[in-house]
Structure 1
Amino acid sequence: MKKDALNIIKNSINDVLPNVSVENFLKDKKFEGNIYTLAIGKAAWEMANSALKVLPKIKKGIIITKYKHSKGSIKNFDIYEAGHPISDENTIKATKKAIEFASNLKEEDTLLFLVSGGGSSLFEIPEKNISLKELQEINLQLLKSGADIREINTVRKHLSKVKGGKFAKLTKSKIMTLVLSDVLGNDLSTIASGPAYPDFTTSNDAFNIIEKYNIKISKKILETLKIETPKKLKNIETHIIGDINKFCESVKKNSELLGYKSIIMVKSMNGDADETGKFIGNIAKDFESKEPTCLIFGGETTVKVKGNGKGGRNQEIALTAALNISGVKDTIIASFSSDGTDGPTDAAGGIVDGNSLKNLKELNIDVKKILKNNDSYNALKKINSLIFTGPTGTNVNDITFILKNNR
């Protein structure tokens, strides 16, 4: 069954790669004036490369993506790699180049803005006199707090010169935005913090999130949060070309091709990764079927970081679920990220079965202690239970699935 699970993962990711989505959307589009491109996010290289195939008349473009996510040079494109999930000096340098590039465009030009998950940290310049170090500290606090992506991006938008629709105000050109959504519900103002989309969050929303998660901020940050974001923009159009719905359907299709009866249980799974792992583990333990079955859970959870170990939300789901399916036969649980990088690791996620806990115990590994230290990566690595895909070039949330096979 592990072979089946890995095939489902591989084929489902291939189905949601951006090349087909970008090319299908652009192939019949007609543009007036010159076309320029800005691509941001973990799927930026793939999206830009696909756009150029359909629109060879793109005059110039910029790509800002995560380290090790560029796959080589592209004609007429400048490529920058920068920090994720925390912005760094290269983020600031690349974003300054992008602003300079966009601010020189004319009204009759079109900026094709290609946005994917990760864009919020990869495309950034802080407001006013906020330093990069201050911004990094706030983002790190938010990421460790257990706040969800909407809450994190609400604060980010009010501290940024480019988020929350502010970037659209910096160019005279028309902006056509194509989005690979990594946000449940496809809230366009939240994806990459909505650089070219009206923002309906308020300064009060940001203050409430800071208070809710006890985020430590200075008076200078407090004053900056009072700056409101644009609520109306005239020069934009936005299209979603990929999301968790398509990803779930792909997993369903690929599991059915292997003979599994497949059921999409949810497409909006969220909340704490640890609790999600317990929940899915209990379902896997108690679920009975007379035929091979695949239960599919789509969404994106969060991890409240308590320790100093290494891991990601999908690895934590898998390892927590392993506690509940110990000794259960003919059962596998796989949890993985569509972008191939789960948290600050090189693994896409984790895959466990009824023997995983026993195998860890034989190595004198205490799973509960490991989870308390958020060190799921190193535990799963010991029993060859990490999923490796490499950077995939897409980003449409995560999938956890259960395979049951009594054949």
Structure 2
Amino acid sequence: NVRKSVLVLALILSDVIGDPLDFIAGGPTVKDTSASEDSLRVLKELYITEAIPPSVRKVLNEEHNRNADQELDTLDWSLVQNVLVGSNKSACEVACARSVALGYLPYLLSTQVEGEAQDIGRMYISLAKYISLGLQGYEQNKEASDLENLLLSKFNIDHNKLKQLQELAQKAVTSGKKGVCIVAGGETTVIVKGKGIGGRNQEMAVAAAIELGESDHRLRSSLKVNDGRRSSTQTKVTFLAAGTDGIDGPNIAAGGVITAGFMAETATSGLDAKEFLNRNDTYTLLSKVDHGLNHVITGHTGTNVMDIHLVLITNMQ
């Protein structure tokens, strides 16, 4: 309990989307705004009140719990200082700074990415294709329009963000930068259908590789320049998804990193990436392809600010 004249300082590392202090590690130093009635209401809404143990129902209904809730209101919470010392946002900001040092223009897309891992992997490749068209000068053609509609309707990417990404792609060309680096983070989920070994980030990486392989591997195109000659341009996409704690499921990998060449490597090895993905066996697939070089392996980092996703779109002209 927080007592008067006692200063409490909490240094908080967030592994929760949105950084709600009352949810991180249960929020032991944050005033609880919920009450016993809230728990009872949820149980009733789900029609499971009678399904929980009688001892739990008894505790929730006891008068002293209501009194405890009221007692919290009388405490001096000004003596508690909660300091967020690390979060997914801070990790993403460092990644942005590093991409600048490597010659890329960064764009922090979101630190609250949620959803099914395979879908999110496909979304990132759609974004990469969209930006690639901007790097190649085709930001106004039908393919770009179709991709924009897909990103707006299926993946709910804000229209202003798409506009900013196209402007960034054009700036990368005019300023002579290597390309664009999309940085994002959050925590996705996996729909388990098989008995394979993997994790959400490896699942995302393999889904992204398949999507990239089914589109133009290098997203190639040709541009007409002012004097009538044709200038061949080419972009290379690299995608990485990894857990900042160094753990991605019950295996030694933190995640995976892929390029357009990944699917060619799987074919050379006689492997079917879709089959591995369908049985959630992405760790095994990544281990077998190119001697496991597509794995991200860091070991346990001793920290956890959720996952980080990087999409590099490099101008190869």
SS at the partner of 1:403?
Answer: strand
Instruction: Give distance in 2, aligned partners of 1:181 and 1:365.
Output: 39
Partner of 1:309: 196
CA offset at residue 181 of structure 1?
Answer: 0.9
Instruction: Give distance in 1, aligned partners of 2:90 and 2:238.
Output: 23
Counterparts in 2 of 1:355 and 1:183: CA distance versus 1, 3 Å? same
CA offset at residue 319 of structure 1?
Answer: 0.9
Are 1:284 and 1:325, in contact at CA under 8 Å, matched by a contact in 2? no
Aligned partner (choices 184, 190, 193) of residue 23 of structure 2: 190
Deviation per residue, 1:364-404 (Å, 9 max, x gap): 33323322322211111212211011111221121111111
CA offset at residue 251 of structure 1?
Answer: 0.5
Instruction: Give distance in 1, aligned partners of 2:58 and 2:251.
Output: 33
AA matched with 1:245: K
SS at the partner of 2:308?
Answer: strand
Partner of 1:223: 57
CA offset at residue 340 of structure 1?
Answer: 1.0
Partner of 1:380: 286
State the TM-score, normalizing by the size of structure 2: 0.65
Counterparts in 2 of 1:295 and 1:208: CA distance versus 1, 3 Å? farther
Instruction: Give distance in 2, aligned partners of 1:356 and 1:205.
Output: 50
Are 1:338 and 1:394, in contact at CA under 8 Å, matched by a contact in 2? yes
SS at the partner of 2:270?
Answer: coil
CA offset at residue 224 of structure 1?
Answer: 7.2
CA offset at residue 195 of structure 1?
Answer: 2.9
Which structure has greater helix proportion? 2
Instruction: Give distance in 1, aligned partners of 2:254 and 2:302.
Output: 13
User: Per chain length, whose mean CA-contact separation is higher, i.e. which structure has more relative contact order (CA < 8 Å, sep 6+)?
Assistant: 2
Deviation per residue, 1:27-69 (Å, 9 max, x gap): xxxxxxxxxxxxxxxxxxxxxxxxxxxxxxxxxxxxxxxxxxx
Deviation per residue, 1:252-300 (Å, 9 max, x gap): 1101101111111122111221211111122223321244221111222
Partner of 2:222: none
Instruction: Give distance in 2, aligned partners of 1:169 and 1:381.
Output: 51
* 1:207 equivalent in alignment to 2:116: no
AA matched with 2:57: E
Partner of 1:392: 301
Identical aligned residues as a percent: 31
CA offset at residue 304 of structure 1?
Answer: 3.0
Counterparts in 2 of 1:372 and 1:404: CA distance versus 1, 3 Å? same
- Root mean square deviation of aligned Cα: 3.1
* 1:261 equivalent in alignment to 2:105: yes
Partner of 1:113: none
Runs of 5+ consecutive residues of structure 2 not aligned to the other structure: 136-172, 219-235
Partner of 2:252: 346
Aligned partner (choices 116, 122, 133) of residue 278 of structure 1: 122
Partner of 1:175: 8
CA offset at residue 200 of structure 1?
Answer: 3.4
Runs of 5+ consecutive residues of structure 1 not aligned to the other structure: 1-167
Aligned partner (choices 240, 254, 278) of residue 334 of structure 1: 240
Write the mapping of 1:98-247 to structure 2, written as runs, cut at 5 A.
168=1, 174-201=7-34, 202-204=38-40, 207=43, 211=46, 218-220=52-54, 223=57, 226=60, 232=73, 234=76, 236-247=80-91
Deviation per residue, 1:55-101 (Å, 9 max, x gap): xxxxxxxxxxxxxxxxxxxxxxxxxxxxxxxxxxxxxxxxxxxxxxx
SS at the partner of 1:183?
Answer: coil
Instruction: Give distance in 2, aligned partners of 1:248 and 1:401.
Output: 9
